[in-house]
Amino acid sequence: MRFLLALCSASCVLCSLAFAQWGPDLRLTNDTATTYLANPNNHPLCASGDSVYAVFIDSRTGKLQVYFSRSLDAGATWDTAVCLSGDTGNIWSPTLAVSGKTVHVAWPTSTDMVMMYRRSTDAGATWSAAESLVVTTASLGDDCLAADGNNIGLAWGDTRDGNYNGEVYLKRSSDGGATWGPDTRLTVRPDTADKEPCLAIAGSVWHLVWTQESWSNYHMRAYYMRSTDGGATWLTPIPLTSDTTSQSQPMVAVVGPNVHVCWGDGRPGAYGIYYDRSTDNGATWNAERCLTDTSYASDYPGIAAAGGNVYMAFRMLSAGHLFISYCGSTDNGQTWSADTALTNADGMGTSAVAAAGSRADLVLYDNRDGNFEIYYKRNLTAGGVEETMNKGRGTLRVGPTIVRGVLLLPPLLSPSSSLLSIDGRKVLDLRPGANDVSRLAPGVYFVRTAGGRLSAMDCHKVVIQK
């Protein structure tokens, strides 16, 4: 059941709240094989203008192989997926990067000893032959491509240094992937396993986040370091947080000097997705904050940025069910929307988000159709809010939104608001964040803040329609 919102009051009208405008799910794969999406830090989804690109793994040939699909009309329609790999075994973690019309894809082979690479210079229409970009005698871990102009970087986990001591390595290209430099080891701790790297590039400043697992206590901590000379040399790593309990799945996105990081955090009593930002190329950082409701568990965050817009999607576990949820910022990460549940299907896998101006793109996978498939959805106005101001008072009254039967209250509203029927009866107690209203009959309702009267000064009119 899908709900639409009409919202008005005597003091203001909110014409469109951007975070509510997610379109329906579009199924990108349709076969009886098993299909998976790589983790968000592998960058399986990228956008450039009206072009959206995705990589995933699919077993339609009998083995899990790397497939690529694209949309050239801002996600409205998608080309049939093409297979980029030809391995005799299963492949797990392809990574993707885009700069202009040049698309880069890399993946570790089934032996985990070779990293393959292909590129397209015509927006994914044709592809170069696969080449062995990294060859090691040990095992390759998670990988991440990043691109800015002709500068391309590949970061990955590697156990070549012995004793299962994973380290993070980097490989660079300055000519759009035509040629590549040598493998460069970035981490040197002998008592940890360094993994889950995520790389972002903005000109000569490169940013890297990853997790470091201690062999002594098995605690995992997320770290950040940067390079100011195009990845040639790197400054001293710093932890993303002072908490030493458990961090995982860190991600980084960058627009100019603005750096955005997020990670899954398992600290006691506050398990959720944390966020931090820097506005000076990573030299200094603001205070970290938890962006999710810690009454449920959240993991696998993905983050993307364009201009002052920052988009984040993650998986959450609530009442025994897995969902994909979303929150966004239109002011460079200073303030964030409340969580918005984007799915209601069980068997949910992970998701990935990409940014292109005011548009947010998202892919996910789940088994709602009996086997795991890839789905896409988009928000064409995620980066902007259209609003009408109260001319008499000169202030904006921010109202609730509805997405698929979920009423979202902004954090600034009272923690003990109520939903009233048109005759003034209370039908539901509300709290900031997500409220399930899917069982209510369509019609006119009012959100009233605690202690308020049924008046235009403290009530919002909500029209729920099927």
Where residue 182 sits, what CATH number does that domain have? 2.120.10.10
Tokens 């980097």, residue located? 170
- Quick one: 187 and 93 in the same domain? yes
Print the domain residue range for 432: 4-13+388-465
As a whole number of angstroms, the distance between CA 424 and CA 43 comes to 49
Whether residue 250 sits in one domain with residue 103: yes
Under 8 Å between Cβ of 354 and 46 = yes
Indicate if 372 and 425 belong to the same structural domain: no
Task: Assess whether 97 and 220 both reside in one domain.
Answer: yes
Same domain, residue pair 379 and 409: no
Q: pLDDT tens digits for 435-456?
A: 777 777 777 777 876 543 333 3
Identify the domain boundary among 334, 368, 383.
Answer: 383
Residues 141 and 247: their CA atoms lie apart, in Å, by 18
Structure confidence by residue, pLDDT tens digits, 52-63: 999 999 999 999
Q: Which residue type sits at 160?
A: R
Which of the listed residues 383, 410, 429 is the one where a domain comes to its end? Answer: 383
Number of domains in the chain: 2
Average pLDDT over residues 161-168: 81
Residue-level pLDDT at 192: 82
3-state helix, strand, coil in the chain (%, to 5): 0, 50, 50
More confident residue, 267 or 130: 130
For 109-134, the DSSP string reads -TTSSEEEEEEESSTTSS-PPPEEEE
Last residue of a domain, one of 383, 404, 434: 383
Do 283 and 293 meet the contact criterion of CB atoms below 8 Å apart?
Answer: no
Average pLDDT, the chain: 85
Q: Does 316 share its domain with 366?
A: yes
pLDDT score, position 307: 93
Whether 399 and 329 share a structural domain: no
pLDDT on residue 10:
29
Q: Are residues 315 and 422 in the same domain?
A: no
Distances (CA, A) of 402 to 317, 444, 448, 465: 21, 13, 16, 10
Q: Which of 276, 292, 274 is nearest to 284 (CA)?
A: 276
Quote the pLDDT of residue 406: 67
DSSP per position, 363-410: EEEE-TTSS-EEEEEEETTTT--EEE--TTT-------EEETTEEEEP
Same domain for 375 and 394? no
> Could you read off the pLDDT of 305-344 as tens digits, one per residue?
999 999 999 999 877 788 899 999 999 999 999 888 898 7
* Beta-bridge mates of residue 227: 206
Rounded mean pLDDT of 358-386? Answer: 88
pLDDT of 397 over the 70 cut: no
Same domain, 396 and 373: no
pLDDT above 90 coverage of the chain, percent: 63
CA distance 427 to 350: 35
Tell me: pLDDT of 260 over 50: yes
On whether both 335 and 283 belong to a single domain, the answer is yes
Mean pLDDT of the region 409-422: 65
Give, in order, the Cα–Cα distances in Å from 39 to each of 70, 116, 363.
Answer: 19, 18, 11
Least confident of 207-211, 290-294, 376-380, 415-419: 415-419
44-58, 278-292, 379-393, 422-436: which range is least confident on average? 379-393
- CB of 62 within 8 A of CB of 90? no
**Residues 168, 46 share a domain:** yes
